[in-house]
Amino acid sequence: MKTPKELAALEIVKLLADKGHKALYAGGYVRDMVMGLPNKGDIDIATSATPEAVCGLFPHVVPVGEHFGVVIVNHIEMPFEVATFRKDMGIGDGRHPVSVAFADEKEDALRRDFTINGMFFDPLTDSLFDYVHGREDIAKGVIRAIGDAGRRFSEDYLRMIRAIRFSARFGFTIEKETWAALQEKSEGILKISAERVFQELDKILAGPNRDKAITLLHESGLLARILPEVEKTAGIGQPQEFHPEGDVFTHTVVALSLLQNPTQVAAWSTLLHDIGKPPTMSVSDRIRFSNHDNVGAVMAAKLLRRLKASTALVESVCEVVANHMNFINVQKMRLSTLKKFLARPTIEDELEVHRVDCLSSHGDISNYTFIRQKQAELPVEEIKPPALISGKDLIELGYVPGPLFGKILGEAYDLQLENKLSTKEEAIEWVKINYKK
């Protein structure tokens, strides 16, 4: 059974073919098909038709890159990238070629990034066109640049991170010449926009084997360029009794490996939770990292803003990083304090980071277990109930608005959370007794 997206793509190919043009599926869709994987991404179409010809055939077309032969065809309310077969002319700014020339499908294949992404498929004849031995490299489990690896990376330096992402995603090794070129060209990643780098890193953290990917970024030299704060955790020793796994970088990598279907916030928070350790490291009776949680939160905000991450992600990650050491006190907290702790909007992400933080070091998750038990015991409405009284109630009682209001309302709410006040009438009576006008 074909999906609606596949049926729509097939109609585009048929119309192009009916007008005498060759049209083939390209890129990731073909790769995943050859690997027997369900395709969850786009279906890109490569064709002999010029952009002008494509625009003339379809009523809803967006010319996103006509200079490079690329248009978006909106068909049955679904967008498809339709690109004219082309070859790149010259190396431009490390993101785009100097110019392009229209070509045939073989030349188009030879300009692409990796062999596994360089195959074409004709859905009308069920024919695979593999001019770059992509199917062979899939069988071998290899990520290999097409042609000269150094040139491929110089054409678009983001391909270096993509090589590592594909390696992690599929569990493939990176072919030695491709790896050598990647290491040699790593500084070029600085020419790539922060937004594109963030998108690749975000995909890495959302995918499988994110620990392997971060390790490869470190070994390639890319990590030092794009995430120097994480790179600086390598070689930072930790107390053996709490961190038998090794230095801060090793701890972070192990923690990443233990994440289970993390949210975006949990994944980024795990990567960044200990970046405050290098600048706060001191040695007295033992190695210490005083206030590394708060220092790390400030650093995480700066790092994510540099990568042009969303404000929502920045704020949530900073909250998780700043609070990741607070779990040490949860079993000693007053009930009111514990309820406030559990009511924070980032508590689920904090719990996941705490879980992997513990399992990747000392292994003690008793505080995690305690919190989960309390969550099961306490209904949601009891963890964060609406306050029994408000500032309006205090005014009606004759109190004058001012700093005292906050003190009264805060104490009353704590007593409510402690189950010592349960009705509005009880709360008002408590105010009258404890705060004489």
Residues 4 and 126 in one domain: yes
Question: To which residue do tokens 């305690």 refer?
Answer: 370
- Asked, for residue 163, whether it belongs to a domain, the answer is yes
Residues 221 and 268 in one domain: no
CATH number for position 195:
1.10.110.30
**Per-residue pLDDT at 128:** 97
**Per-residue pLDDT at 99:** 63
What is the domain extent for residue 13?
A: 1-136
- Asked, for residue 233, whether it belongs to a domain, the answer is no
Residues facing 251 on adjacent strands: none
Residues 129 and 2 in one domain: yes
Residues 115 and 12 in one domain: yes
Contact 80, 12 (CB under 8 A): yes
Residues 147 and 201 in one domain: yes
Residues 183 and 117 in one domain: no
Give 265-334 as a 3 state SS string. HHHHHHHHCCCCHHHHEEECCCEEECCHHHHHHHHHHHHHHHCCCCHHHHHHHHHHHHHCCHHHHHHHCC
- Asked, for residue 174, whether it belongs to a domain, the answer is yes
Sequence-distant (6+) residues with CB within 8 A of 288 are 281, 282
- Asked, for residue 55, whether it belongs to a domain, the answer is yes
Per-residue confidence in pLDDT tens, the chain, 437 aa: 789 999 999 999 999 999 999 999 999 999 999 999 987 789 999 999 999 999 999 999 998 876 778 999 999 999 999 999 998 756 666 566 666 778 899 999 999 999 999 999 999 999 999 999 999 999 999 999 999 999 999 999 999 999 999 999 999 999 999 999 999 999 999 999 999 999 999 999 999 999 999 999 999 999 999 999 999 999 999 988 889 999 999 999 999 999 999 999 999 999 999 999 999 999 988 999 999 999 999 999 999 999 999 999 999 999 999 999 999 999 999 999 999 999 999 999 999 999 999 999 999 999 999 999 999 999 888 888 999 999 999 999 988 888 899 999 999 999 999 989 999 999 999 999 898 87
Tell me the one-letter amino acid at 133.
Answer: H
User: 299 is written with which tokens?
Assistant: 């650093």
Q: Taking the model in full, what pTM does it have?
A: 0.89
Residues 104 and 207 in one domain: no
Residues 314 and 370 in one domain: yes
Sequence-distant (6+) residues with CB within 8 A of 14 are 124
- Asked, for residue 220, whether it belongs to a domain, the answer is yes
Q: Which of 107, 136, 165 is the last residue of a domain?
A: 136
* Domain tally, the chain: 4
Residue 363: C-alpha distances to residues 244, 246, 251, 277 (Å): 10, 14, 12, 20
- Asked, for residue 248, whether it belongs to a domain, the answer is no
What is the three-class DSSP state of 122?
Answer: strand
**Per-residue pLDDT at 259:** 98
- In degrees, rounded to 5, the angle at the alpha carbon of residue 416 between the alpha carbons of residues 393 and 377 is 145
User: 420 is written with which tokens?
Assistant: 């010592």
Residues 168 and 279 in one domain: no
Residues 98 and 27 in one domain: yes
Spatial separation of the C-alpha atoms in residues 176 and 93, rounded to whole Å: 26
- In degrees, rounded to 5, the angle at the alpha carbon of residue 208 between the alpha carbons of residues 123 and 238 is 160
**Per-residue pLDDT at 381:** 85
What is the three-class DSSP state of 80?
Answer: strand
Which DSSP state fits 231? H
Residues 207 and 295 in one domain: no
Spatial separation of the C-alpha atoms in residues 71 and 58, rounded to whole Å: 11
- Asked, for residue 203, whether it belongs to a domain, the answer is yes
Residues 20 and 77 in one domain: yes
